[in-house]
Amino acid sequence: MLSKKSQYAFKALTYLTERFNDGPVLISEIAKKKKIPLKFLENILLELKKAGILDSKKGKGGGYFLNKSPEKIKVATVIRLINGPIAMLPCVSLYFYERCKNCNEKHCGLHDMMIEVRDATLNIVENRTLKDLIV
Partner DNA sequence: TTTTAAGTCCACCGAGTTGGTAGAGTAATC
Partner DNA sequence: GATTACTCTACCAACTCGGTGGACTTAAAA
Binds DNA (CB under 7 A): choice among 42, 67, 88, 122: 42
Options 12, 48, 53, 89; binder of a copy of itself; rule CB under 8 A? 89
Min CB(26)–a copy of itself separation in Å: 18
Residue 51's binding partner, choosing from a copy of itself, DNA, none, with beta-carbon cut-off 5 to 8 A by kind? none
Contact window for a copy of itself (CB under 8 A) among 19-27, 41-49, 61-69, 105-113: 105-113
Interacting positions 31-70 with a copy of itself (CB under 8 A): 34-35
HEC readout, the chain: CCCHHHHHHHHHHHHHHHCCCCCCECHHHHHHHHCCCHHHHHHHHHHHHHCCCEEEECCCCCEEEECCCHHHCEHHHHHHHHHCCCCCCHHHCCCCCCCCCCCCCCCCHHHHHHHHHHHHHHHHHCCCEHHHHCC
What CA–CA distance (Å, rounded) separates 50 from 97? Answer: 23
Closest CB to DNA among residues 101, 106: 101
Binding residues for DNA, rule: CB under 7 A, are 3-5, 8, 24-28, 37-40, 42-43, 45-46, 49-50, 56-64, 84
